[in-house]
Structure 1
Amino acid sequence: MSDVLEQLRQRLETQLEFIYRDIATVSDYPGIAEALISAMGLNEKAYEMSEPVAYQNHWSQQDVVLITYGDSLEKRRSRSSQQACLSGEQEYGFSDMDGDVGLAEKPLKTLKRFLDERCKEVINSVHILPFYPYSSDDGFAVINYSAVNESLGGWPDINAIAEDYRLMADLVINHCSSRSIWFDNFIKGEGPGHDFFFTADPEADTSKVVRPRTSPLLKEVETANGTQHVWCTFSHDQVDFDFTNPKVLIEFVWIIRLYLDNGVRLFRMDAVAFLWKILGTSCLNLEETHEVVRLLRSLIEHAQPDAVIITETNIPNRENLAYFGNANEAHCVYNFSLPPLLVNTLVTGSCHYLKQWMMSMPPAQHGTAYFNFIASHDGIGLRPAEGLLEDQELNTLISTMQSFGGRVSMRALDDGQNKPYEINISLFDALQGTTKGPDRWALDRFICAHAIMLALEGIPGVYIHSLLGTRNDYDKLKHTNHNRSINRHRWDVEALEESLDDPLNDHHKVFHRIKALLKIRTRQQAFHPNATQFTLHLGDQLFGFWRQSMDRRQSIFCIYNISDEPQPLALSEVNLIGLDRWHELISGEEITDLAQEMMLAPYQALWITNMLDS
């Protein structure tokens, strides 16, 4: 037996003893550890393994993640082709080869081609949101973790994307679909998965439980073993797993192994903060949850040293940061406070709160990084702004977003009241104006937001609908009656490409301006996710920070006018070193007079550096 494998086994046993210390029925820690090692396939490669290198960065300034659904882009048949397929099926009995007469090919193939033809020079990673068979929540109620949704494609399509891009996939670890075979077996009281789900007495005190929804927590289910009340953190179609049963943990390690074998290298642990439940507590961020993440990290990094765990925890900032652990838990955490703070900054014209937050954020240790995003398939979370924005500021933000066509989703409090949980709106519409109303600066404001996000310490994640400048989808919202649908548009790829090729079209302008920023970003060592960052103090209308490369050779001063009025910038206040030659990266202009006062147009961004194309 290799020394590395034996050390891992001992570590797993220690972690398991901590996780299950209060579970009387669990005591076979060596047996569970061996089952986990077997599920990850580590026995077969025991003598190839080496101890993972601590504090190692698995990323660089070249890493940019595109976030997309597998079917955000669709190649649709012409109306005549659709009619021909329908006629053929009716007359001759054959079915459409793609399973949908409206599509000319599987969406994962469409996505791959779009990435290759339009994005490859600036995007090296792609997060495909849940691509498994599902029953609701656009993929997050998983029916089968081991399959690819046939309407999207198959494992070969996933493999093809993973060959050319670093692939990020969701590990939907807190819950699964009520239509899964596991839940069917729970109802039958026998078979695989029959004991995978968390139940509770409806008379138990659950008043402290923190949830992101307003639906009842428990779902009454008739089973072969009588009436059961199943825990449902999110919806009654999303039933929570019971991780006090070690078989659930072992099953998820099998799933992780399958994903690794199919090219997944970035694991987004969906809703992981809710994983462990103890009655009488908040059932959020419990220490057992953190230990499970550490245990999965131990297994993953031994199996695939360059794999990365990213925790998705839409919670207040301090609790979110705890998932870094001591650089031994998540490699990356979603920077959930950034979207509400940045949108608030740009619609109010003041960076006061954003700057306060920036100064309070600890630099990520080597081996960890922030995952920065300003738009996603979900909404603009409001819990991460708790303690960072005052109530009046939040109320103004919400009312402004509603005036721009946004919706507000609620969560239940322990006193029976409901409270705003997230704002649902496309980012382009969210930034169409200020608290004063829509204005003519929408495009520049939108690009400014991305120029800020792309320069910040961390790895940037760009939502496909931000890259394309997609607007609110009211038709989909009306069809689903689900607030999040407003920002989950499905593009006809041919119509999209016509827009992207038209220089007068806003989609073209957004796409090419963001790509131009990405091309610059990926060449700058000072934009490494772990490069030094300091906040500049330039007043409330100019937001700025300084980045310095880890070898200290390159500096970039990132300065933004976040208001709808021109703002003066005295370069003497920025403290540019006179011995260096300074250039502004976005315009490409050289700065020769370090004593000059520049006038920044509304929402203008400056990236001032002492080195070009480092």
Structure 2
Amino acid sequence: MNTLHLKLEQQLEFIYQDVDEVKDYRALASSLMAAMGLYEGPHGETGPHEPVAFQNHWSEQDVVLITYGDSLVQQRANQEEEIPPGECLLQQKPLITLKRFLDDYCQDVVNSVHILPFYPYSSDDGFAVINYSAVNESLGGWNDINAISEDYRVMADLVINHCSSRSVWFDNFIKGEGPGHDFFFTCDPSEDVSQVVRPRTSPLLRETQTADGIKHVWCTFSHDQVDFDFRNPKVLLEFVWIIRLYLDNGVKIFRMDAVAFLWKKVATSCLNLEETHEIVRLLRTLIEHAQPDAVIITETNIPNRENLAYFGNANEAHCVYNFSLPPLLVNTLITGSCKHLKQWMMSMPPAQQGTAYFNFIASHDGIGLRPAEGLLSEKELNVMISTMQSFGGRVSMRALDNGKNKPYEINIALVDALQGTTEGPDRWGIARFVCAHSIMFALEGIPGLYIHSLLGTHNDYEKLKHTNHNRSINRHRWDYQALQQQLAEETSDHHKVFNELKNLLAIRTKQAAFHPNATQFTLHLGDQLFGFWRQSIDRSQSIFCIYNISNEEQILNLSEVNLIDLDEWRDLITGDYLQNISGQLAMSPYQVLWISNK
């Protein structure tokens, strides 16, 4: 028996120890290995690869663009060209348009792309998956995913907690027979579910008429998103087959969506249970043996301490979303004080080798508020919420166990969120917006850049009105020709934002001190000047990243930065050398300095 098989058996025993129906861990481990394409060699080898522990699968050159498959829509230039079967007469397949945009506009600064759920779906803009094995025909096909993966690392969503109520699996659940008929978690409504933590306000249980009578199906998110029952090992095995399919089609990064809710136990919170953590570890074990450079990112929009637990001991997620960064950074820039951002930075443990933070400040969802719990006071959160509402944002709620609702996230385009301060809009919007990204680009971790931030896209009120879903406000769909015109027009805000962010990324990807695992220390320069120091892993390069996060000029005393006089120091952004490392610099509102000795 090889070591991988034994490890899988031990993991399975932990996961299913309280499930009486699952006891043959050896057979289940063999099935999982077969599904992943791993063999059991006679001398303990596991094939096709042996993973190396604590190995970084990223560098300072890694930047992930986050986008829907149809965030860009291109009309056909030649209406007489031959149309492939099943393709719209007037529209190019959006995945082809996306590849063209990446090649024409992002090739030098982006090497990875997170294509949000590109499968057939019924709701939630892709997160209610009907068929995990297919690409949505309106977007393209697996050949288009493969074409993108030839030049960029592709991140795909593993929507592992739930699927669509319109899937074949759920149809079979209703009929009581066929594949998937036993895949879903049900609960007697008399059971105590008062402790269950949820991000929504809809009823937890969905009453469903089936061939076996009325059943109450668990729905963490919506009644169109029915939760899987991982107590049934066939569900786990099915997802291993799905992972293998994605690997075979060029996917190298797996975003485990809503994974914190995976395992359910009545009379508990059903959040971050130990079985959930062990399933992530088991999937990590299988994936890294099949594809050593593949990466798992857990999407756990929860308080900071619980989020960090998904690193495990570098044996669980390779990366965790830095969910506290968006609300703290927005708070910093609208209040003109970095007090809370500094406190949080100093509390964050360095990611050990083989793990990294995934930094982002805007996404297809919104600015999560749960990750700010314990970091910002209720009063400060309320000020931020009211400011965002005054800038056109919306607020989504979640249900509490006392029957009341509480703000869960703010839905707003980031360029609109940073159009002003708590005092109202001002003329520093773009500078403030660029400053926010320059902070994110320089922090320890891998930057994830939402396409609508890169393009400076504003709130989409038309889409919000059409869908009546708050998150639609930041899910605009660009006509590609119109976008090209905006990017070419030098007076356009979209042109200004795109070029400033692209220039910053071009600098970032050349600095060893911006490696995701390079050393980071927080500087203490007062509340209006935010700063931190990065040092490359080989200690050859230091970069002092300093930001005026206020709307007034601030004086930087370079003597407080402690620059070593044996080195020559220059600002990477302007290229200017510092003439007096003990002198003073006047920093204009939202000015950025990346002071490097190389």
TM exceeding 0.5: yes
**Is residue 2:480 matched to residue 1:484?**
no
**Mapping for residues 270-285 of structure 1, pairs under 5 Å:** 270-285=257-272
Is residue 7 of structure 2 the alignment partner of residue 11 of structure 1?
A: yes
Contact 1:310 1:331 (C-alpha < 8 Å) held by counterparts: yes
Give unpaired runs (5+ residues) of structure 2. Answer: none
**How many residues get paired?**
595
Q: Answer whether contact 1:469 1:507 (CA < 8 A) is retained.
A: yes
Work out the CA distance in 2 between the residues paired with 1:151 and 1:257: 24
Answering whether residue 558 of structure 2 is matched by residue 571 of structure 1, we say yes
Equivalent residue for 1:597? 584
Matching residue within 369, 380, 383 for 2:367: 380
Q: Which of 11, 26, 33 is the equivalent residue of 1:30?
A: 26
Shift of 1:102: 4.6
Supply the distance in 2 between the matched residues of 1:582 and 1:477 (Cα, whole angstroms).
Answer: 48
Q: Which amino acid aligns with 2:426?
A: D
Q: Closer, same or farther in 2 for the Cα pair 1:372/1:417, shift >3 Å?
A: same
Match of residue 326 from structure 1: 313
**Distance in 1 between the 2:149 and 2:87 partners?**
24
**Is the contact made by 1:271 and 1:312 (CA closer than 8 Å) also made in structure 2?**
yes
Could you tell me which residue of structure 1 aligns to residue 499 of structure 2? 512
- Using structure 1 for the length normalisation, give the TM-score: 0.95
Give the structure 2 partner of residue 562 of structure 1.
549
In structure 2, do the counterparts of structure 1 residues 47 and 395 end up closer, same or farther at CA, with 3 Å as the change threshold?
closer
Deviation sequence 1:256-290 (CA, Å, 0-9, x none): 00000000000000000000000000000000000
Distance 2:494 2:396 in 1: 28
Identify the residue that residue 426 of structure 2 maps to in structure 1. 439
Per the alignment, residue 537 of structure 2 pairs with 550
CA contact (8 A) 1:98 1:106 kept: no
Partners of 2:319 and 2:357 within 8 A in 1 = yes
CA contact (8 A) 2:199 2:397 kept: yes
Letter in 1 for 2:29: A
Structure 2 letter corresponding to 1:342: L
Is the CA contact 1:336–1:381 (under 8 Å) kept in the aligned structure 2? yes
Match of 1:71 in 2: 70
Name the structure 2 match of 1:402.
Answer: 389
Which of 169, 177, 187 in structure 2 is aligned with 1:182? 169
Q: In structure 2, what residue type is equivalent to 1:60? A: S
Structure 2 Cα separation of the partners of residues 49 and 100 of structure 1? 41
- Rounded to whole Å, the distance in 1 between the matches of 2:350 and 2:120 is 39
Alignment-derived partner of residue 198 in structure 2: 211
**Pair 260,50 (structure 1): closer, same or farther in 2 beyond 3 Å:** closer
Distance in 1, Cα, partners of 2:238 & 2:19? 19
Secondary structure of the residue that 2:396 maps to in structure 1? strand
Deviations 1:531-582 (A, max 9, x none): 0000000000000000000111100000000000000001111000001000
Q: Any conservation in 2 of the 1:185–1:192 contact (CA below 8 Å)?
A: yes
In structure 1, what is the equivalent of residue 59 of structure 2? 60
Residue 458 of structure 1, aligned match among 445, 458, 466: 445
Match of 2:150 among 146, 160, 163: 163
**1:378-414 per-position Cα deviation (integer Å, ceiling 9, x unaligned):** 0000000000001100000000000000000000000
Please report how far the alpha carbon of residue 47 of structure 1 lies from its aligned counterpart in structure 2 after TM superposition: 6.2
Displaced runs of 4 or more, over 2 A: 44-51, 94-102
Task: Answer whether contact 2:73 2:478 (CA < 8 A) is retained.
Answer: yes
Matched, 1:40 2:27: no
The one-letter code matched in structure 1 to 2:53 is A
Helix, strand or coil at the partner of 1:36 = helix
- Alignment match, 2:116: 129
> Is the Cα–Cα contact under 8 Å of residues 265 and 308 in structure 1 kept in the other structure?
yes
Distance in 2, Cα, partners of 1:49 & 1:237: 39
1:91 corresponding residue in structure 2: none
One-letter identity of the residue aligned with 1:30: R
C-alpha displacement at 1:76, in angstroms?
2.3
Q: 2:487 aligns with which of 455, 479, 500?
A: 500
> Hey, what's the Cα distance between the residues in 2 that align with 1:358 and 1:605?
18
CA distance in 2, matches of 1:47, 1:200: 39
Question: RMSD in angstroms over aligned alpha carbons?
Answer: 1.5
Distance in 2 (CA, whole Å) between partners of 1:265 and 1:481 is 34
* Cα deviation code 1:212-232 (max 9, x no counterpart): 000000000011111100000
Asked if 1 retains the 8 angstrom alpha-carbon contact of 2:396 and 2:470, the reply is yes
Change (3 A) 1:594 1:324: same
Percent of pairs with identical residues: 76
**Aligned with 1:164: secondary structure?**
coil
Task: Return the offset for 1:595.
Answer: 2.0
**Unpaired stretches in structure 1, ≥5 consecutive residues:** 86-93
Partner of 2:113, secondary structure, is strand
Return the offset for 1:49.
Answer: 3.6
- Per-residue CA deviations over 1:194-250 (Å, capped at 9, x if unaligned) read 000000001111000000000000000011111100000000000000000000000
Other structure's SS at 1:556 match: strand
